[in-house]
Amino acid sequence: MLAALGWGAVAASSLVIGAVLGMIRKWHAGLVGGVLAFGAGALISSVAFELAQEGLTIAGPIPVAIGLAAGALAFFAANAAVNKIGGRSGGGAGGLPLALGSLLDGIPEQAVLGIGLAAGEGVSVALLVAIFISNLPEGIGSASDLRSAGKSPRAVLGLWCVVAVACMLATLGGYGLASVAGPEIKAGIDGFAAGALLVMLVDSMIPEATEKAGSRAGLVTVIGFAVAAALSNLV
């Protein structure tokens, strides 16, 4: 349990680091988009090699398929609710919708870390790197927007600390749930996280990377995939 909290804190810390970076200087959109693209590729690799493959190995295709559908639908519904209050566009009072959007992205990512630890596999370096990198642009972009809107550095940092703590607790939740579940349930949890991540990648992360990085986004995504796939098989 302490390991889940610790690794969850490491992964979530990049949200706060990104927020600090976003407040201290302006970042070129192309660079932010490139980091997003790299993180997207790394997360695609994690979905394939850390989630779907593991679920198929321990319980077969049916629990994974059910989990995929449930995760995709759950994220779609939650994302639609966040969008209604301006979560993806930056609207809303006090920057809260921006934080909700990042929290929504972070929950399935970080829950997977806890699932892997509960299974006795240790922390996935590839997934940890993917989460850490993908969090940075969210913190950078949103903190910059909030500062431009007149929010104080203390308020911006406090908001992102809350988001980071919530994401860290998602790692603990994944650990706790997987610790008491049988193989079929664990495979369903893997599928659920995979479905949620895939919808998040297609609906928000990849489009934003393409918008900011342009035609280079696809190439950088492949590089991110290759690096994470190598880490999955080497570590």
The pTM is what? 0.82
What pLDDT does 93 receive?
A: 44
The answer on pLDDT for 91 being more than 70 is no
The token duo for 211 is: 């918008």
Kindly list the domain boundaries of the chain, sorted by start residue. 2-234
What pLDDT does 98 receive?
A: 59
162-191 tens-digit pLDDT? 999 999 999 998 888 877 778 888 888 889
108-139 tens-digit pLDDT? 878 878 877 877 767 778 888 888 988 888 78
The answer on pLDDT for 9 being more than 90 is yes
Q: How many CA atoms lie within 13 A of 43 on its CB side?
A: 29
3-class DSSP state of 104 = helix
The 8 Å CB, 24+ separation contacts for 224-227 are 224/37, 224/38, 224/39, 224/40, 224/41, 224/42, 224/44, 224/45, 224/130, 224/133, 225/41, 225/42, 225/44, 225/45, 226/41, 226/45, 227/38, 227/41, 227/42, 227/129
The average pLDDT across 12-21 equals 93
